[in-house]
Amino acid sequence: MKTYKFKLYSHKRNRYLKRIINASASIWNHCIALHKRYYSMFGKHLNKFQLMKHIAKLRNKNSYWKLVDAQAVQDISDRIDKSYKLFFKHHERGVRPPSFCKSKKYKSFTLKQTGYKLIGNKIRIGKKIYGYYKSREVEGKIKTVTVKRVSTGDMYIFIVTDAHSESIGVVTGQIAGFDFGLKTFLTNSNGSDIESPLFLLKAKKQLRKLSQQLSSKKLGSKNWNKARITLARFHQNITDKRRNWLWKLSHKLCDTYDLMCFETLNLKGMQRLWGKKIGDLAFGSFLEILQTVAAMKGKKIEFVGQWFASSKLCSSCGHKHSELHLRDRTWVCPKCNTRHDRDKNAAINIQREGTSSLNLDTVRLPLVASVA
């Protein structure tokens, strides 16, 4: 599957798409209310086919809901049904059921087989035609088309096709372990550390200034809305810069290594401890992007267990230093007297643990590759 993202031209006609999104939010909230009522009566979630049949009858009587294509209504029902099934299956792990959503925070609607047609650099949705910035050709059979609005007021379309990305990487015979850190983004077992640009931290002063300008405006006024959009665009610019850096880094790592080993992160726990710093580092987004690039280039990523004591194990003799604290950035092994940098030692241990249970032939590594 391949996803294409295109930005729609700014036009007053786009207000029609925003009305469809608002109507979709109304349908979503009505479906959630029906589910809650059904659960309070029978103790289980509503069958999605019954729900779709009920919504279809209501759409015939509600001109506002008719703005939403039947395919988009079906997608709403499918997403709610999947969310409830996930909730009933994993609620003990803290998974929450789908909830009500304000129309301003509801972002998109999705069309599947019908309701759209691509015409050059334009797309017809319903009876209206919208132009978009066509940066590349769409390959493969279209599976879904999603129309999304962002906080800046811009509109985007996401086209998912069945095309496969064909980009086979070069076999390098190199493997490496990586340790995530707050000061150093990645510590490489081979010695080359990677620092994070920390885009949010560098833009802190400008963000504070724009936030103050927004708070000084009268809520809901035209000047307030202009200031809100300016702030939203600045946030979007930071996100785009960070994502661009993560994509470039992922390609660089996949071009250098055939096997990459990482630790399994407890991102929610890290978020509670370090807050915005974790969001700025974007470890989760990086791993998602890296896995996508690795699949394209035929490279392999291995994760070690969350409770593997990568920092406390001596990479020279294997002794576990149980008294090591988080504040200790360097330490000396009490058994072999080897001095370790905490992050470098952890990266070496992650590499060894990640490769210990693998058949290296399956990851296209030559026999001369070192795992030490």
DSSP string, 92-112: GGTPPPP----TTT--EEEE-
Find the mean pLDDT for residues 175-187.
Answer: 88
- The proportion of the chain whose per-residue pLDDT surpasses 90, expressed as a percent, equals 42
89-131: per-residue pLDDT in tens?
887 777 888 899 999 899 999 998 888 899 989 999 988 999 9
The pLDDT value recorded for residue 362 is: 46
Task: Compute how many other C-beta atoms are within 10 angstroms of the C-beta atom of residue 227.
Answer: 19
pLDDT range class, residue 79, cuts 50, 70, 90: very high
Instruction: Please determine, for residue 372, whether its predicted confidence score (pLDDT) is greater than 70.
Output: no
Domain ranges across the chain: 2-161, 175-363
What token pair was written down for 167?
Answer: 């980009």
Instruction: Please determine, for residue 363, whether its predicted confidence score (pLDDT) is greater than 80.
Output: no
As to burial, measured by CB atoms within 10 angstroms (0-12 exposed, 13-18 middle, 19+ buried), residue 52 is middle
**pTM of this structure:** 0.80
E strand spans, 231-274: 259-263
User: Minimum mean pLDDT among 211-225, 232-246, 355-369: which range?
Assistant: 355-369
Task: Compute how many other C-beta atoms are within 10 angstroms of the C-beta atom of residue 245.
Answer: 16
- Give 98's contacts (C-beta < 8 A, 6+ positions apart): 32, 35, 79, 80, 83, 84, 87
What token pair was written down for 40?
Answer: 């309070």
Instruction: Please determine, for residue 20, whether its predicted confidence score (pLDDT) is greater than 90.
Output: yes
Compute the 3-state secondary structure of the chain and give helix, strand, coil in percent, each to the nearest 5: 45, 20, 35
In the numeric block, the tokens 């950035």 are attached to 329
284-327: per-residue pLDDT in tens?
899 999 998 998 888 999 988 877 888 778 877 877 877 777 77
Between residues 329 and 152, the one the model is more confident about: 152
Find the mean pLDDT for residues 185-194.
Answer: 86
The pLDDT value recorded for residue 48 is: 84
Instruction: State the average pLDDT for the chain.
Output: 86
